[in-house]
Amino acid sequence: MSNRSYSFTHAITRKPGKSAVDGLRAVDTGTPDLDTFLSHHADYIAALKATGAVVTELEALEDFPDSVFVEDTALCLQEGAVVLRPGAPTRLKEAEAMAPTLRELYDEVLTIEGPGHIEGGDILTTETEILVGTSARTDDAGIKELAGLVAQWGYKVRKLNTPEGVLHFKTDCSLLDENTILSTRRLADAGCFEGYNVILVADGEEACANTIRFNEKVIMPAGFPKTEQAVREAGYDVVTVGNSEAAKLDGGMSCLSLRFSPIKK
């Protein structure tokens, strides 16, 4: 499939559980309202389905408050999936729980064995390379092991340094097409995106840098009108989804799904 970095047939999501109110957060901006979270999550799934995606909707894992953020558990490529090794100790078992679902959809599922750590929120896959930012959750050893695994499928991994104070690399960026990245100024100024076109989020709207391109739609968190307008004016078809409650747990649009087109043998 062309445009393999944003043309997808499948997505996996997981329902937020009652325990989500106890999820990890870098800064406490309030406790998520579960009913609102569930409503936003339903809208998010509807937006994915509107692109033509087949969405696997997994039930909540109450023992793991952060398990709604499924992206951190795996890297899903066309040729296979890699079960990751989250850097937050409380999240390690989430990756193990995702593995059986991946094996139903892929012929080949590999696993990061460690001792390093790597989370999906630090991984941005483009048409030509896989960009991985170091963070408190992703270290050099985890990146090195990932690079070794995906090399067999022809992927090149490039390690980048996420600016201090940014939780995940993709907290501050997202892919809009094969040549274009939406980014905060602080991440773009770090020199991560040489060779790419960059659209900067509006000042004060940094929280919307984490969007997703899924087929012909750009799914963006609601409430960031200047950046939304800029992305629309650049020619993209934008859909907005409420994200206020996930944001209280440092979550954005990409965090809530795994997106892929598995090639079956």
Q: What is the mean pLDDT of the chain?
A: 94
How do residues 191-230 score in pLDDT, each as one tens digit? 999 999 999 999 999 999 999 999 999 999 999 999 999 9
Among residues 168, 173, 192, 208, the one annotated as catalytic is 168
Q: Which two tokens stand for residue 193?
A: 């995106």
- Asked if the model's pLDDT at residue 52 lies above 70, the reply is yes
In a domain, 134, yes or no: yes
- Asked if the model's pLDDT at residue 166 lies above 90, the reply is no
Tell me what pLDDT residue 265 has: 60
Tell me what pLDDT residue 1 has: 43
How do residues 168-179 score in pLDDT, each as one tens digit? 999 999 999 999
Quote the Cα angle for 39-259-75, to 5°: 120
Tell me what pLDDT residue 25 has: 74
In a domain, 2, yes or no: no
Mean pLDDT for the stretch of residues 241-255:
95
- Assign residue 207 a region (left: φ > 0; alpha: ψ between -120 and 50; beta: otherwise): alpha
Q: Is 41 a catalytic residue?
A: no
Domain range enclosing 58: 10-260
* DSSP-assigned states of every residue in the chain: --STTT--SEEEEEPPPGGGGG---SS---PPPHHHHHHHHHHHHHHHHHTT-EEEEEPP-TT-TTTT-GGGGEEE-SS-EEE-B-SSGGGHHHHHHHHHHHHHH-S-EEE--SSS-B-GGGEEE-SS-EEEEE-SS--HHHHHHHHHHHGGGT--EEEEEPPTT-SSGGGSEEEEETTEEEE-HHHHTTTTTTTSEEEEPPTT-GGG---EEETTEEEEESS-HHHHHHHHHTT-EEEEE--HHHHTTT--TGGG-EEE-PPP-
- CATH classification at residue 26: 3.75.10.10
CA 127, 98, 12, 71 torsion: positive or negative?
negative
Grade residue 30 by pLDDT with cuts at 50, 70 and 90: confident
Overall domain count for the chain: 1
In a domain, 1, yes or no: no
In a domain, 5, yes or no: no
pTM above 0.85?
A: yes
- Higher pLDDT: 22 or 4? It is 4
Q: Is 208 a catalytic residue?
A: no
In a domain, 105, yes or no: yes
